[in-house]
Amino acid sequence: MSRSAHPAGPRHADVLPEGHYSAPPADLNALDSKVWARTVERGEDGVVTVGGISVTQLAEEYGTPAYVLDEADFRARAQAWRTAFGADADVFYAGKAFLSRAVVRWLHEEGLNLDVCSGGELVTALSAGMPADRIAFHGNNKSPQEIERAVRADVGRIVLDSFQEIARVAHIAQSLGKRQRVQIRITVGVEAHTHEFIATAHEDQKFGIPLAGGQAAEAVRRALQLDGLELIGIHSHIGSQIFDMSGFEVAAHRVVGLLKDIRDEHGVELPEIDLGGGLGIAYTSDDDPREPHEIAKSLTEIVTRECESAKLRTPRISVEPGRAIVGPTAFTLYEVGTVKPLEGLRTYVSVDGGMSDNIRTALYDAEYTVALVSRTSDAEPMLARVVGKHCESGDIVVKDAFLPGDLAPGDLIAVPATGAYCRSMASNYNHALRPPVVAVREGEARAIVRRETEEDLLRLDVG
């Protein structure tokens, strides 16, 4: 479609809501390395490649929509976290961001530990050979069966989330003749600077035990008394997509304050502290995430300083990045189905996926960018909204983005930074078949999670 077919194009910027793009980027064919996986580039023929393979070849072999994951980038980011924190700290990849058996093997090979938060994630980790002592088991409502499975497997730690769970895990461990290593997750009253629904350390929420009112201190008292538990540390997770380290500073101060109170009351110095995950990534060119070495330096300095002033031995630190490792390593590849210009407003571009493969826009108002990847274009930019094929008007993948005005059905477009919380939150809404995750590395591609089939859908429908 030529620009003349989009007469409203140049006036689109007038109707943009405040705070959104006011002008199209200088070059719509450019790919900002901040938001795209590291091996992504545009070839001389205009087609985008990843790991040396073109998106057109990937679309032909695996279909669309598909999550395309740059394995080399994943390994490099995992390794950067591992190296940044060094041998005196532990990095637990948060499996909720995206977990598959291949991912577990990569993490194992790169020397990372793994945080799981359900029986399903635990079984995936164990079946792919992650040593149990490198697994942390999370969750605010673990079932007795899940707890028993974790204790029997000898997981490295269970993170206790409530008073009832303290008693439950102690009872199960004791009845199995074991002493389970545990941490207590506390809420320190810090609200990270992020969307309300994904900020998890303020007190009015379902996770953890509040520090306020002495509840965390009481939880420690109980855990220390129970034979089935070995209390190794305190856990705090303050939110998601965080860029500002000041929230961690306050959290560390409060956690160390609790460690000091524990030492004073019980004569025990707990050896570990976990500061959770939540470090932000670039979803658009406006985001400026920090590098793992800066984060490691900052967190280590904060904890060391707090411990020195509390006259405590510095505990072993652990962190749980999920999004910061896997998020930037994947993009979602879609085929354009229909292009619908709305005079004076914007152009709706419908793709062959939608909220079933990326719920984050509908759920969190998340922002993404998008690019035409099967060719270049010199057409004028048009303000577009990329939407899915589901029966919901809120089925939006990219709310505001500029795409070339000649975009047409059959073009391939890709949304970068979809490695985290997209496949793991994917649904079968409208009986969509969840897309595959295709890992690409050095000229080779393979599905590490295959596309669902109609047989998969019908197998669960037992009539």
Ligand X SMILES: Cc1ncc(COP(=O)(O)O)c(C=O)c1O
> What residues are annotated to the active site?
391
Is there a contact between 382 and 448 (Cβ–Cβ < 8 Å)? no
CB of 260 to ligand X, least distance (A): 23
Q: Which is nearer to ligand X, 196 or 461 (CB)?
A: 196
Q: What minimum distance in Å lies between the beta carbon of 326 and ligand X?
A: 8
Residues that bind ligand X (CB under 6 A): 94, 96-97, 115, 138, 237, 240, 276-279, 320-324, 420
State the nearest-atom distance from the C-beta of 264 to ligand X, in Å: 27
Bridge partners for 272 per DSSP:
233, 316
- Name the residue nearer to ligand X (CB basis): 228 or 292: 292
d(CA 417, CA 327): 5
Q: Is the Cβ of residue 197 or residue 392 nearer to ligand X in the bound state?
A: 197
Residue partners of 220: CB distance under 8 A and separation at least 6: 184, 231, 234, 258, 262, 266
Measured from the CB atom, the residue of 115 and 148 that comes closer to ligand X is 115
Name the one residue in this structure whose structure tokens are 């995430």. Answer: 289
**CA triple 291-292-297, angle to 5 deg:** 105
Cis peptide before 289 (omega within 30 of 0): no
Q: How far is the CB of 71 from ligand X (least distance, A)?
A: 19
Residues 413 and 395: their CA atoms lie apart, in Å, by: 17
Q: Which is nearer to ligand X, 78 or 386 (CB)?
A: 78
Cβ atoms of residues 98 and 424 within 8 Å: yes
Return d(Cα 27, Cα 162) in angstroms, integer: 52
Closer to ligand X by Cβ: residue 181 or 323: 323
58, 60, 63, 65: CA torsion to nearest 10 = 60
Considering the complex, what minimum distance in angstroms separates the CB of residue 199 from ligand X?
Answer: 10
Minimum distance from residue 23 beta carbon to ligand X (Å):
31
**In terms of DSSP bridges, do strands 330-342 and 346-351 run parallel, antiparallel, or are they unpaired?**
antiparallel
Amino acid at 413: I
Element containing residue 58 per DSSP (H, E): helix 55-62
Q: What is the largest CA-CA distance in the chain?
A: 77
